[in-house]
Amino acid sequence: MTTTPQTPRGRAIFIGAGPGDPGLLTTRGLRVLADADVVVYDRAVAHMLRLARPDAERIEVGAPAEGNMAQDAIAMLVADKVREGCLVARLKWGDPFLFGSGAKEALFLHEQGLPFEVVPGVPIALGGAYAGVPISYPWGHDALVLLRGHEHTGESAPNVRWPALASLDGTVATYATGRQAAEVLRKLVAGGRAVTHTAALIYDATLASQRTLTGTLGELADQLEAEGADSTPALLIVGDVTGLRAHLRWFDERPLFGRRIVVTRSRERARDLSDQIESLGGQALEAQTFRLIPADDPEAIERTVATVQQFQWVVCESANAAHRFLKALLTGTRDLRALGGVKVAAVGPSTADQLRMAGLVPDVIVPEIGEEATCQALAAHGPLAESRVLVIRPEHGRAEDPRDGLAGALRARGVDVQDLVAYRTVASAPESAASQELYRQLLDGSIDAVTFASPTAVERFADLIGREQAADLLNTTVVVTMGPVTAAAAEAIGVTAPIVAQTFTVDGLVEALVHALKTPA
């Protein structure tokens, strides 16, 4: 019998991260990043680490273009990790083999006899599409020239034959600092390119912070020099294609473009809201105000769900509670038929969505957390007295009186309740670097909105920032909440005018954000 040879775990894979937008990472790159034991990454693509395996080792190695000595150290670091048997994702800004150091690092591995692969990325020059500037155009000029700029780490323009380049009909693209860009424009004009030809300089291409300057070669050079062009790099495109921006711009006209919006959901639930914000041009800042940890008795849910048919109702108080309920229910050979005639209630649309994904349609969906509303919704399906109800919920780290919460409200109606804690939430550390950075950004007014999807998120945010400071900081920005109960929790800590989403869903939250931030940034 023949066997298929296995790919060795110990190897490096160079991944082109593209110009910045995580959505431009290739499918192959995403798979490798999610599987890697170690991620060695350029500082410019640090925001993509959320796509890496949670327990992967993360090592930042500075700017995409480092000096020779630093580059040698990076190559040796990658080689050492490969020798340890690790799958190393070398996450590089742009494309690894275009004006970068990827080829040099790969050659070092080759000389050491170590295996490597390359996953190409979207070149920086193609990021102009996000500014409405195509790199070429049908029936336009046939030449495209890519110039090394900031990748070389110098501040001067590249050493090329400028008269020959200036005489070429076509597009010139280079990633350059403001100083370099001004020098490139002057050299093109001096070489014979008409001063009236057009150009565009695109900062932070493909990101929510993208900013585009356009004009003739002379106008743009004058503007850069008048503003005291600095060392901030940007994509410079010279050619007739830049005149199409007025007709093809789309990215910077989306409703949340340029807005910085804090998402306070747990890591497990933040992604859907962040994706919607970013699809509308905003920058989602995921603030891990709390994290999920196992219940004190993590096996209790398996024991209880094994005899779930003894209950008339199962009430899931959160999407994570629903997830853990389904996981316990569907273990072994069981399927949804194990529920028999048991009715299921979901508190919140996200909880209902979690159940539906498993093919279970809730009998009751309560729009938002609220004991009285939940009791009434269950009672609408028949008398509750003497019925048996299983409540599956989170525990938020505060002592809970048996008379409080949904279980207490049901007991007051004569219900036999089993109150089951599926998981616990704990606040993130206020002294963490992420917490301090969030505090600083709120303090300097660089946050456009903060979103809260649950009262727990509000409470944990106050714990994270500090209860005395939280209200003052939140009252300097827009606060959008998913439903009146969450808004009441925000008001309880001192927020004066929280906006309430009309529908208590992620879609509703995003719609409220767009309406609140519809004026230009």
Does 55 lie in the same domain as 133?
no
State residue 332's pLDDT score: 78
| 3-state class (DSSP) for residue 201 | strand
What is the reported pLDDT for 6? 57
pTM of the model: 0.77
- Domain-located, residue 3: no
Pair 185, 278 in one domain: no
Whether residues 459 and 505 share a domain: the answer is yes
Q: In the prediction, which pLDDT does 399 show?
A: 46
Whether residue 407 is contained in a domain is answered as yes
Helix (H) or strand (E) holding 77: helix 68-83
CA distances for 75 relative to 150, 153, 173, angstroms: 21, 18, 29
**330 and 310 within one domain:** yes
| 471 domain residue, yes or no | yes
Residues 344 and 418 in one domain: yes
CATH of the domain at 246: 3.30.950.10
Predicted local distance difference test score (pLDDT) of residue 518: 80
| 347 lies in the same domain as 435 | no
The CATH number given to whatever domain includes residue 389 is 3.40.50.10090
Note whether 183 and 177 are within 8 A (CB): no
Contact (Cβ atoms closer than 8 angstroms) between residue 458 and residue 490: yes
Q: Would residue 234 count as lying in a domain? A: yes
Tell whether 1 is covered by a domain. no
φ/ψ of residue 212, rounded to 5: -125, 130
Strand 211-216 and strand 198-203: the pairing is antiparallel
Are residues 414 and 309 part of one domain?
yes
Q: How far apart are the C-alpha atoms of 490 and 498, rounded to whole Å?
A: 7
What pLDDT score does 424 carry? 87
Last residue of a domain, one of 252, 274, 302: 252
Domain count, the chain: 4
Task: Give the residue from 61, 87, 121 where a domain finishes.
Answer: 121
**Are 311 and 298 members of one domain?**
yes
Helix (H, G, I), strand (E, B) or coil at 215: strand
Same domain, 398 and 482: no
Residue 490 domain boundaries: 260-289+428-516
Domain boundary among 427, 448, 476: 427
Residue 51 CA: distances (Å) to CA of 117, 275, 384, 435, 456 = 19, 13, 46, 20, 25
Digit-by-digit pLDDT tens for the chain (521 residues) are 444 455 678 999 999 999 999 989 999 999 999 999 999 999 889 989 989 998 999 999 877 655 565 888 999 999 999 999 999 999 999 999 998 889 999 999 999 999 999 999 999 999 999 999 999 988 778 899 999 988 765 668 888 999 999 999 899 999 998 889 999 999 999 999 999 999 999 999 999 889 999 999 999 999 998 887 667 889 999 999 999 999 999 999 999 999 999 998 777 677 889 989 999 999 998 877 777 888 888 899 999 988 999 999 999 998 899 999 999 999 878 889 889 889 999 998 889 999 999 999 999 999 877 888 899 999 999 888 889 999 999 887 654 544 578 889 999 999 999 999 999 887 766 667 777 888 889 999 999 999 998 888 898 888 888 888 888 999 999 999 988 889 999 999 999 989 999 888 889 999 999 999 985 55
Give the pLDDT score at 4: 47
Radius of gyration of the chain (CA): 28
The rounded distance, in Å, linking the Cα atoms of 103 and 116 is: 11
Tell me whether residue 270 is in a domain.
Answer: yes
Q: What is the CATH number of the domain that holds 17?
A: 3.40.1010.10
What Å distances lie between residue 55 and 35, 36, 49, 58, 80, CA to CA? Answer: 10, 10, 11, 9, 19
In a domain, residue 483? The reply is: yes
